Structure 1
Amino acid sequence: MGESRLRIDARDDRVVATLDRPDRRNAIDQALVDELHALCAELEETPRTLIVTGTDGIFAAGADIAQLRERTGDDARRGINATVFDRIRHLPMPVIAAVDGYALGGGAELAYAADIRLGTPNARFGNPEPGLGIIAAAGASWRLPEIVGHARASELLLTTRTLGADEALAWGLLSSVHEPDELLDAAHAIVDRIAATSVRATILTKRALLAPRADHPRIDGELQAELFDSPDKRARMTAFLERKKR
């Protein structure tokens, strides 16, 4: 067994997963994909909010090009990176990407799979795949338009230019920008807010957000029906009303 590519800090209500290949700029290789799948299996079994971040001022500088060069059409059809990023996207609880430095290629697509993205002034997003003779096929072509709009996504994916933190914030790709030594604190502050709410309501809110437009408003009613009949809803609303009386 080789060295782990993923450093895990697991707590009761959250997990921090740090991409840890500083010698390869946190490039995403098959071993890292396998470790991400193992983490997803844990979070599907025991849902907790996930923070994904990088090391040494780099989020992830892309896929491992040495491995990518040797992949075949059959590998492309398997969707090696796309499959794990989609699994991350559909984890029961929210996923937060804390991005310092470069998030390129597969690294950018990993960040796009998160529910919330925070960055530092050093954050840089880009999909240089066409310059390497391939496309961004692990989520960028459909997730990026959902985040920033079709026209802006087209510009980034067709020109392969890199987007800085200020522009990423203005476009809505980043929710907020923080100094590098404050980035994880900001991510934890968001998790604290999530942790103060109902776990089940959070899970169902994310489910509603990910549902196709055609499923609304039917799915909202079904999810709400479950919550309306829950003891947690009654307890939380009773506590709210009691506080109002004071």
Structure 2
Amino acid sequence: MAYKNIEFTKEDSIGILTINRPKALNALNTETVTELNDCVGKIENDPEVKVLIITGSGKKSFVAGADIVEMSTKNPIEGRHFGKISQDTFTRIENLPQPVIAAVNGFALGGGCELACACDFRYASENAKFGQPEVGLGITPGFGGTQRLPRVVGRGYGKELIYRANMINAQEAHRIGLVNTVVPQEELMDTCLKVAKEIASNAKIAVQLAKTAINRGINCDVITGIAYEDEVFGLCFSTDDQKEGMAAFVEKREKHFTDK
């Protein structure tokens, strides 16, 4: 599938997926979401990609939201279909085996904030803005925002952002836990790449199992989550990387993981 609205590149073991509709501030229309879903499906099965970074093209916008021009003419059936394919795509991103970092380089509104929340964590440039403006347009968040945002920032902040339909800056997003850190825009991608490479240097299987355990645990009671953690913890002892990592520690030498 040839992409018109997104770009995907690889830098060593790091994948970089860029939403590329600068004239529309990288807003998500049906075509873009379809391309995004196709690309994520390929990344899912790409053993070369250990960490994925998602960002937007240009210096103004990560993703400014869903494409309101396209949405404005939809009927209830069409609106629900658009929401469903977008939800499914974002859930696929959330459940990728690889860790996913959102490099938020500007507006992350509506669908953009929802996309960022589907990533494992978020780094923001100083000019980033976050918000869920949907109720001001007569709709609810429809790409997972009513579920993921309160899980990321807590019920109070999540409800306030959705009910008020206002924007917050990067510093406020950092204060409430929506982003992990804020850096100057010119440093954003270098910072994300540095962190991605640190993650990629660790045992691939262990990182992916840890992600699965965290995601499963968030959606169940703590006893069930701990039981799953016990399973993956034991499973790690069947890997070559566990043997190498612990041998390197005991022998006080550099580790050399083989992802097995």
**What residue number does 1:221 align with?**
230
- Pick the aligned partner of 1:90 from 88, 95, 117: 95
Gaps of 5+ in 2: 254-260
Mark the CA change 1:206 to 1:3 in structure 2 (over 3 Å): closer, same or farther. closer
Figure out how many residues of one structure are paired with residues of the other and give that number. Answer: 244
The alpha-carbon deviation at position 208 of structure 1 amounts to 0.6
Say which SS state the counterpart of residue 44 (structure 2) adopts: helix
The alpha-carbon deviation at position 223 of structure 1 amounts to 0.8
Question: d(CA) in 1 for partners of 2:127 and 2:199?
Answer: 26
**What residue number does 2:250 align with?**
241
CA RMSD across the alignment: 1.6
The alpha-carbon deviation at position 219 of structure 1 amounts to 0.4
Question: d(CA) in 2 for partners of 1:16 and 1:26?
Answer: 16
Are the counterparts in 1 of residues 17 and 52 from structure 2 also a CA contact under 8 Å? yes
User: How is 1:1-12 mapped onto 2 (pairs within 5 angstroms)?
Assistant: 4-12=4-12
Say which SS state the counterpart of residue 10 (structure 1) adopts: strand
**What residue number does 2:138 align with?**
133
Question: d(CA) in 1 for partners of 2:40 and 2:22?
Answer: 22
**What is the one-letter code of the residue matched to 2:71?**
L
**What is the one-letter code of the residue matched to 1:53?**
T
**What residue number does 2:257 align with?**
none
The alpha-carbon deviation at position 218 of structure 1 amounts to 1.0
Residue 56 (1) aligns with residue 43 (2): no
Mark the CA change 1:233 to 1:140 in structure 2 (over 3 Å): closer, same or farther. same
The alpha-carbon deviation at position 227 of structure 1 amounts to 0.4
The alpha-carbon deviation at position 237 of structure 1 amounts to 0.3
The alpha-carbon deviation at position 2 of structure 1 amounts to 8.5
Q: Which moved more, 1:235-244 or 1:182-191?
A: 235-244
Gaps of 5+ in 1: none
Say which SS state the counterpart of residue 135 (structure 1) adopts: coil
Question: d(CA) in 2 for partners of 1:46 and 1:4?
Answer: 21
Superimposed CA distance per residue, residues 201-242 of structure 1 (whole angstroms, 9 cap, x where no aligned partner): 011010011003333111001111110122210111001110
Question: d(CA) in 1 for partners of 2:77 and 2:200?
Answer: 42
Are the counterparts in 1 of residues 105 and 125 from structure 2 also a CA contact under 8 Å? yes
Say which SS state the counterpart of residue 252 (structure 2) adopts: helix
User: How is 1:112-123 mapped onto 2 (pairs within 5 angstroms)?
Assistant: 112-123=117-128
The alpha-carbon deviation at position 108 of structure 1 amounts to 1.0
Q: Which moved more, 1:72-81 or 1:55-64?
A: 72-81
Structure 1 runs (4+) deviating above 2 angstroms are: 70-78, 212-215
Q: Which moved more, 1:197-206 or 1:8-17?
A: 8-17
Return the TM-score normalized by structure 2: 0.90
Identity of aligned residues (%): 36
Q: Which moved more, 1:191-200 or 1:227-236?
A: 227-236
**What is the one-letter code of the residue matched to 1:199?**
K
Q: Which moved more, 1:34-43 or 1:198-207?
A: 34-43
**What residue number does 2:149 align with?**
144
User: How is 1:1-246 mapped onto 2 (pairs within 5 angstroms)?
Assistant: 4-47=4-47, 48=49, 49-57=51-59, 58-78=61-81, 79-211=84-216, 212-214=219-221, 215-243=224-252
The alpha-carbon deviation at position 168 of structure 1 amounts to 0.5
Question: d(CA) in 1 for partners of 2:190 and 2:120?
Answer: 18
Question: d(CA) in 2 for partners of 1:64 and 1:74?
Answer: 17
Say which SS state the counterpart of residue 66 (structure 2) adopts: coil
Superimposed CA distance per residue, residues 2-35 of structure 1 (whole angstroms, 9 cap, x where no aligned partner): 9611111123411111111111110101111111
**What is the one-letter code of the residue matched to 1:90?**
N
Question: d(CA) in 2 for partners of 1:82 and 1:76?
Answer: 12
The alpha-carbon deviation at position 136 of structure 1 amounts to 0.4
Superimposed CA distance per residue, residues 57-109 of structure 1 (whole angstroms, 9 cap, x where no aligned partner): 21111111121123332234431211111111111011111111111111111
Return the TM-score normalized by structure 1: 0.95
